[in-house]
Structure 1
Amino acid sequence: MKRLALLAAALLANVANAAPLPNPYRAPERHWAHLPDGRRWGSSAGIEIGPHGELWAIDRCAANSCDGSFLPAVYQLDPKTGKPIRSLGAKMFAFPHGLHVDRDGNVWVTDPAVSKNGRMGEQVIKMTPAGKVLMRLGQAGKSGGGPKLFHDPGDVITAPNGDIFVADGHGTVALDLPPDTVTRIIKFTPDGMFVKAWGSLGSGRSQFRNPHALAFDSHGRLFVADRVNGRIEIFDRDGKYLAEYHAFNHPSGLFIDSHDRLYAVDYNSEGQKGIYIGDAATGRLEAFVPDDQAGEGVAVGPDDTIYEATPGGITRFRKK
């Protein structure tokens, strides 16, 4: 009887998720954010809201790489106008990707590539809002496994107690990779000491293929956007597998607001691209915001305005 009830509940959830979803947002405002001197945006994958509503975004130095560039890699933007307020991270990153702003306002950036000169990349760097480096995880220009090296770190997030979590394995996209290819979630103490790692390459429980983004809900559960596998895996902070959601298609970016509303950018959808909105507690979809861009990252302001990082810059969506 219990199994029948669970099956019925699953079928009802699938029916609800298959039904047309409302779109509570206006048309997208493309190329909304500005850069100094009228410079065009390069590719962006990271966007984040700070503890006081600050908006931060990555710009890959007016291109799709910062290797060899003297331009800043991270900008604080006015959330109302999109104008730049400050910048940081010049000559520090080869391929800035994941972006996180912690409770103290510090800015974290992942760099999942190695520069041509071998002096940058494969690191996670923590900075003050003014750009002072506070911590470096990983060894610059060196890729690998174990507790001291990264293999393409795609995203980073900190827990309320300061513990650091890194999604490692951004490059694990191809389907013919060796099974021992490093693909994992890594946990560090607040001061950067290795605690543990979990995960491997694959599509089973606690396995990943291109773990692309991280988010926490209000209960401290860690959500991992397992992009190529087309799901979100959920763990406790010790790495215990809890659940997985498949309704959000191929999630590239994640954001969970204070009401446990989950936003997921669908990057590689076989159908229509866009931003799925649902309940983080149940995985039930509530809305869909269509967008023909290949979104990479998503952040949501206190007024529910959505900011999307794309290969062509920053897009804003305001509620109807």
Structure 2
Amino acid sequence: MSSSLDVIKNSTIFVIEPSTGKVLAEHGENEFYMPHGMTIDSKGNLWVTDVGRHQVIKLCGKTFKPVLILGEKLIPGDDEAHFCQPTDVAVSADGQYVFIADGYCNARIMQFDSNGTFIEQFGNPPETMPAKNGEFFIPHSIALIEDLNLLCVADRENQRIQCFSAGLSQGHRQSSPTGMFITKAENIGRIYAIREKRHYLVGITGSSEDSESIEPQVFVMDMDTGKAETYAKVRDLFTVTKIAF
């Protein structure tokens, strides 16, 4: 894929006024090949996955210039120093834990420290179907719920969300190891994106394998009770929609 792609000359990151939708600033021209996921950490830095470059880029939230680049540009791989079409990033509030979903090829979750040093990884592609716990068929999005010590993974083609121990340290003690399976929500349709707020895990799902006929819906799971509901249809998959929650 990456060898045939050209860098996108136009802006790829837009700063938008939330109440009006007015574009306040544009960035990212001549930087990305196929930007896929974006996460803003507690310090305002942006983490962008580029499935065309096979890299994860950390941008300063003030200058929008790269301050850390993980992976080798345009070179896919499955070792500790390479990605193959990474999809999403989750960062702890103190910035010490960086989780990366890697992604379309490698079916794994990788953990790094704040300097980009590899720590560990977990996950595998399915050996047989139905997939077992801890197996991924495109881990497409991830969400870190720190106070519950959970890392949840949108396992897109398995049509489920899996949640694992994040392995976050509590003082000098680790409550459970990174990657230990905890819980899941199954048969929810292809799950494209997840984020968490106040222990509610919110996701966008679609039921069809045909991208032209996807009917995206909002999926909400209460992480305290385990109850889950599909609440509403999103008007258009290819527009930006604000949902109050």
**TM-score normalised to structure 1 length:** 0.64
Asked if 1 retains the 8 angstrom alpha-carbon contact of 2:27 and 2:64, the reply is yes
1:229 Cα deviation from its structure 2 partner: 0.1
Counterpart of 1:248 in structure 2: which amino acid? I
Q: For residues 109 and 143 of structure 2, what CA distance do their matches in structure 1 show?
A: 12
Counterpart of 1:267 (choices 196, 206, 226) is 206
Q: For residues 137 and 85 of structure 1, what CA distance do their matches in structure 2 show?
A: 29
Alignment gaps of 5+ in structure 1:
1-65, 114-120, 173-181, 294-309
Q: Which residue of structure 2 aligns with residue 256 of structure 1? A: 196
Asked if 1 retains the 8 angstrom alpha-carbon contact of 2:7 and 2:32, the reply is no
Asked if 1 retains the 8 angstrom alpha-carbon contact of 2:42 and 2:94, the reply is no
Counterpart of 2:38 (choices 78, 84, 99) is 99
Q: For residues 18 and 29 of structure 2, what CA distance do their matches in structure 1 show?
A: 22
Asked if 2 retains the 8 angstrom alpha-carbon contact of 1:231 and 1:245, the reply is yes
Q: Which residue of structure 1 aligns with residue 89 of structure 2? A: 156
Establish whether residue 167 from structure 1 lines up as the match of residue 107 from structure 2: no
Identity of aligned residues (%): 28
Counterpart of 1:141 in structure 2: which amino acid? L
1:317 Cα deviation from its structure 2 partner: 3.6
Secondary structure of the 1:316 match is coil
Counterpart of 1:215 in structure 2: which amino acid? A
Q: For residues 313 and 110 of structure 1, what CA distance do their matches in structure 2 show?
A: 20
Query: How do 1:137-286 residues align onto structure 2 when only pairs under 5 Å count?
Result: 137-162=70-95, 163-170=97-104, 172=105, 182-202=106-126, 203-217=131-145, 218-237=147-166, 238-246=178-186, 248-257=188-197, 259-269=198-208, 273-286=216-229
1:169 Cα deviation from its structure 2 partner: 2.1
Counterpart of 2:224 in structure 1: which amino acid? A
Secondary structure of the 2:132 match is coil
Deviations 1:216-260 (A, max 9, x none): 224130000001001111111211111211153321110111x21
Asked if 2 retains the 8 angstrom alpha-carbon contact of 1:248 and 1:266, the reply is yes
Segments of 4+ moved more than 6 angstroms: none
Asked if 2 retains the 8 angstrom alpha-carbon contact of 1:256 and 1:280, the reply is no
Q: For residues 276 and 197 of structure 1, what CA distance do their matches in structure 2 show?
A: 27
Asked if 1 retains the 8 angstrom alpha-carbon contact of 2:206 and 2:215, the reply is no
Deviations 1:249-282 (A, max 9, x none): 321110111x211211003458953111220234
Secondary structure of the 1:215 match is strand
Deviations 1:140-182 (A, max 9, x none): 0000111100011011110223211100022x5xxxxxxxxx2
Distance change >3 Å, CA 201–CA 287, structure 1 → 2: closer
Asked if 2 retains the 8 angstrom alpha-carbon contact of 1:248 and 1:264, the reply is no
Q: For residues 260 and 138 of structure 1, what CA distance do their matches in structure 2 show?
A: 32
Alignment gaps of 5+ in structure 2:
167-177
Q: Which residue of structure 2 aligns with residue 288 of structure 1? A: 231
- For CA contacts below 8 A with separation 6 or more, give which structure has more relative contact order: 1
More strand by share: 2
Query: Which of structures 1 and 2 has the bigger CA Rg?
Result: 1
Establish whether residue 73 from structure 1 lines up as the match of residue 6 from structure 2: no
Asked if 2 retains the 8 angstrom alpha-carbon contact of 1:206 and 1:241, the reply is yes
Distance change >3 Å, CA 292–CA 269, structure 1 → 2: farther
**TM-score normalised to structure 2 length:** 0.83
Asked if 2 retains the 8 angstrom alpha-carbon contact of 1:159 and 1:220, the reply is no
Counterpart of 1:249 in structure 2: which amino acid? G
Q: For residues 242 and 78 of structure 2, what CA distance do their matches in structure 1 show?
A: 38
Deviations 1:106-136 (A, max 9, x none): 01100112xxxxxxx0000001122121100
Q: For residues 203 and 232 of structure 2, what CA distance do their matches in structure 1 show?
A: 10
Q: For residues 183 and 229 of structure 1, what CA distance do their matches in structure 2 show?
A: 12
Q: For residues 140 and 90 of structure 1, what CA distance do their matches in structure 2 show?
A: 17
Q: For residues 243 and 180 of structure 2, what CA distance do their matches in structure 1 show?
A: 35
